[in-house]
Structure 1
């Protein structure tokens, strides 16, 4: 065994325990096996949390919140603790990256790894800074005649208070990033939080526990539990003691979360599926040459905001697809620790089969394979970067989220046709418009029904929110809205 492998074994062994009640404790549920998508072999097997441990975490969080242990602190006092938490994570950044590489297969030398660990840690500091700038109290804009009642004066205020107990249920593709964007705004605003990571990628989330203890978060304020099934997740979405669920995952599971949370009317923040469009206007069509490469390099297309539907002028479509195909030669699948590896595997055998199935469905509906379309013959779950020449937007590969390195190229007659097809989707998470005439590109962007539209760029910031329309979810993450969603609004009317 190499020195690097031995070091990883030590790191994995340190992060198998659950954080419950302010203590690290071994899971008491069924064994959870983490498989490396890069090799198909187990990375770790350890006991997951039991349902009773989830119940205990909920009870601890409820007690901590109701007792004012955390919510009763001033904002700057909570932020001071959370800054220590971020510092403890920054000190462990190399270790967190190693765990991410092991459980997701993300290449150690890729820019995607930056988005997995170091970028979200920087964003956490930005989020805390943003939170401290938001007022706890705001005055309602009463007209003058309503401010006077008899001989007295009335003041009407908006007060922002924590929701209560927040359950964060994270997806597998960016496990640390997604988990932090659930628990950190929740904690900053005074809530108590329970994080349940994906069973496919729990290691980096469990590693948060050690840093939380170092930062001295009070007992019960944060719990982290991993499980092999979904019993704990079901409890988090149904238990009356949980006030809010923040979930990232597929639209199908998001609908179940909504249904499970409905009887107790929990607050919801859902970031769900996407089938985002990239529209290349005629004056910028040459930029489409690297669109497929960008999607496939971005964690093998496993990103809900990725633009997997690429719209170009019909007349330019053949040359664009040839240029796209040539660009894919830069991708190399292989050992994620090899600096020359540039492409991730998909997460599992099931996801590999999903990619293959959608290529078959696409071809049956009239698409042609320009590149890829098959599994790569090597260990692990690698699917070849795939370009599909799709005749129209009704093709299954253009309508459904595949979550792999499979992109559709669709020709449009004119800009109105491009916008119509971009909006012909059950999803509305993100979108992209490219054009040299920025005024025209902005006009096109304004017609796209998505929660975020990027013009000539891709962008993510702690200060700018994102979120979905239609079946891509409800609520926002990041930005002012991503902080305020973890707060309830109380109206205070005072007479003097």
Structure 2
């Protein structure tokens, strides 16, 4: 078995420092055993990290460097991750409960691949663009006026990430910010600090200038509150719950910081009448997606009323065959939840769903064969309508609600009857019809007949699912200011 990564200390101003806070225990969610302790930063050390990032930005060594030089450093960081792939994989398995299937895709390998693709994309973007002014406006009164839009880094970026896909989320924040010339303070979830601390190792190996990237760890929220309110911070990039996102907006408002938020979701997988045969396969897609701990997980399944019983019966049969267990077993499809609290959240919502007229078709509790570990059975709920609590709130676990509809218009209305709008799926053999339905769903990303996450395509939330976009051109431009430069001859 490969060992986990060895770094346990915060990284501030180009150095690994002794954490002044209390040690933080990292717990393996599959076994409930302690993996290791990491050093945490005091509020004073978080202030040091912010100041280091500010000084590094104002020094202009990184910000003012040729972007090809920045690219070379970022590529060396990615090389470091690939060289330590096995240690990273074991780390993510033990601290996040990532299965082998997920490590081979979004948890690790896909993250590194997409960062390399992001580098390629970044190099195609112009650093300045001429404004599309009519010739008559540019040349008038015997003078010539040049109008150019230039793209510049925002400044100091606070990156606050979630526990579910920790390495991928960290990478999607840190690298676009660094490529575009910003400096960064990264604060991971207390559940998954190890896969963030390794960014300090990569920075050291790549020769990143001191202060450009800082990694702080805490068990509470005092440091993150400072990172979202400190006047030296220019932008916040946060992934997490909508409730915390609202708090961050308030904390950022006093200094009018730019805010990029990827928040909660309650996505649908909508099966048109001639695509219902595909619906049963939609259950394991959610369950295997890190045990449903994904903000884009399509946990509301919409099928025609007259086929609902059939879908539920087939879904229950599939759920009963799924391998739930320790990610150390390569056959495991559904691993653990991150904590006992998250498992209890799933239990509470199942009870509430039943209390509001729902019915448990499969699962609904802790697997009896797994007395240790934060496991929850793949669960299918038959709910009478979209008002059921399990259909309205983000549960963040392996729980899928099935809702019937009579007409396509009704299905679209159900899909949009949510405070969230992060993602969605539409299935149908008629691409024209399925695409037309997809355009009516108010979400930042809607997939027709499949799932796709691309380094070249931006995505983000509508409504209470967030602000701004990650990935793609918009994800890179989100870390840049746009300056209008107008120059006229004397």
TM > 0.5: yes
Q: For 2:26, which of 26, 34, 50 is the aligned residue?
A: 34
SS at match of 2:445: coil
Distance in 1 separating the partners of 2:48 and 2:321? 50
Match of 2:297 in 1: 306
- Is residue 199–residue 227 contact of structure 1 (8 Å, CA) maintained in 2? yes
Distance in 1 separating the partners of 2:96 and 2:139? 62
Match of 1:434 in 2: 427
SS at match of 1:159: strand
Distance in 1 separating the partners of 2:341 and 2:405? 33
What is the correspondence of 1:91-240 to structure 2 with a 5 Å cutoff? 91-107=83-99, 109-111=100-102, 113-240=104-231
Residue deviations 1:191-223 (CA, integer Å, cap 9, x gap): 001110000011111112111100000000001
Distance in 1 separating the partners of 2:80 and 2:34? 28
Q: For 1:78, which of 70, 74, 86 is the aligned residue?
A: 70
Deviation, 1:143, is: 2.0
Deviation, 1:47, is: 2.4
Q: For 1:381, which of 350, 374, 377 is the aligned residue?
A: 374
RMSD: 1.0
Deviation, 1:150, is: 2.3
Residue deviations 1:234-278 (CA, integer Å, cap 9, x gap): 110000000000000000000001110011111111000000011
Deviation, 1:331, is: 1.5
SS at match of 2:254: helix
Distance in 2 separating the partners of 1:111 and 1:189? 29
SS at match of 2:237: strand
The answer to whether residue 277 in structure 2 is matched with residue 278 in structure 1 is no
Distance in 2 separating the partners of 1:75 and 1:298? 36
The unaligned stretches of length 5 or more in structure 1 are none
The answer to whether residue 387 in structure 2 is matched with residue 394 in structure 1 is yes
Q: For 2:396, which of 403, 419, 429 is the aligned residue?
A: 403
Residue deviations 1:63-96 (CA, integer Å, cap 9, x gap): 1101101011111111011111111111111111
Deviation, 1:112, is: 5.0
Deviation, 1:340, is: 2.2
Distance in 1 separating the partners of 2:383 and 2:103? 28
Distance in 2 separating the partners of 1:45 and 1:77? 36
Deviation, 1:44, is: 1.4
- Is residue 112–residue 298 contact of structure 1 (8 Å, CA) maintained in 2? no
Distance in 2 separating the partners of 1:152 and 1:274? 53
**Larger deviation, residues 27-36 vs 242-251:** 27-36
Distance in 1 separating the partners of 2:424 and 2:79? 34
Deviation, 1:27, is: 1.1
Deviation, 1:114, is: 2.3
Distance in 2 separating the partners of 1:162 and 1:237? 18
Residue deviations 1:168-191 (CA, integer Å, cap 9, x gap): 000000000000100100000000
Match of 2:243 in 1: 252
- Size of the alignment, in residue pairs? 487
Match of 1:356 in 2: 347
Match of 1:23 in 2: 15
Distance in 1 separating the partners of 2:319 and 2:131? 55
**Larger deviation, residues 149-158 vs 298-307:** 149-158
Q: For 2:60, which of 55, 68, 71 is the aligned residue?
A: 68
